[in-house]
C-alpha cells in the first residue's frame, strides 16, 4: 500500500536540501527516483524551514532508503535531524 512521507524541519533550508541531494545523487536532480519512490516534492515551509513530501510504494521501501541513503547523506553535510510523518495513502494518481 502506498505511503506519503512528510519530512519537515524548521532548521533545514534550500541550501541544506541541495547539499544533501547532491550528496545522494551526485547532482541536484537524479536521473531517476530510487527504487520504490513514486514522487518527490521539496519546498519551503510557510512558517520557515524546509519540507519534503514523498510518495513511496511501501513504508518498507522508504525505511530502507532512509536508513541506507538519506540519513548518511544528511549526516555527511552536517544537516540537523528532521521530523517524519508517515501516512497511508488512499489514492495515488500519476500522469
Cα 80 from Cα 13, distance rounded (Å): 11
Determine the pLDDT at residue 92. Answer: 95
Q: What is the pLDDT of residues 30-73, one digit of tens each?
A: 989 999 999 999 999 999 999 999 999 999 999 999 999 999 99
Does the pLDDT at position 12 exceed 90? yes
Residues of the chain with pLDDT > 90, as a percent, come to 94
Q: How many Cβ atoms are within 10 Å of 47's Cβ, its own excluded?
A: 7
At 84, the pLDDT band (50, 70, 90 cuts) reads very high
Cα 11 from Cα 13, distance rounded (Å): 7
The stretch 79-87 carries a mean pLDDT of 97
Backbone angles phi, psi at 80, to 5 degrees: -70, 165
Amino acid at each position: 500500500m502506498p505511503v506519503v512521507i512528510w519530512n519537515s524541519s524548521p532548521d533545514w533550508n534550500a541550501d541544506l536540501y541541495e547539499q544533501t541531494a547532491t550528496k545522494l545523487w551526485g547532482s541536484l536532480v537524479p536521473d531517476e527516483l530510487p527504487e520504490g519512490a513514486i514522487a518527490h516534492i521539496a519546498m519551503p515551509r510557510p512558517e520557515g524551514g524546509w519540507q519534503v513530501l514523498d510518495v513511496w510504494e511501501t513504508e518498507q521501501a522508504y525505511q530502507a532508503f532512509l536508513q541506507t541513503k538519506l540519513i548518511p547523506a544528511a549526516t555527511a553535510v552536517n544537516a540537523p535531524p528532521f521530523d517524519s510523518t508517515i501516512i497511508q495513502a488512499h489514492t495515488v494518481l500519476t500522469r
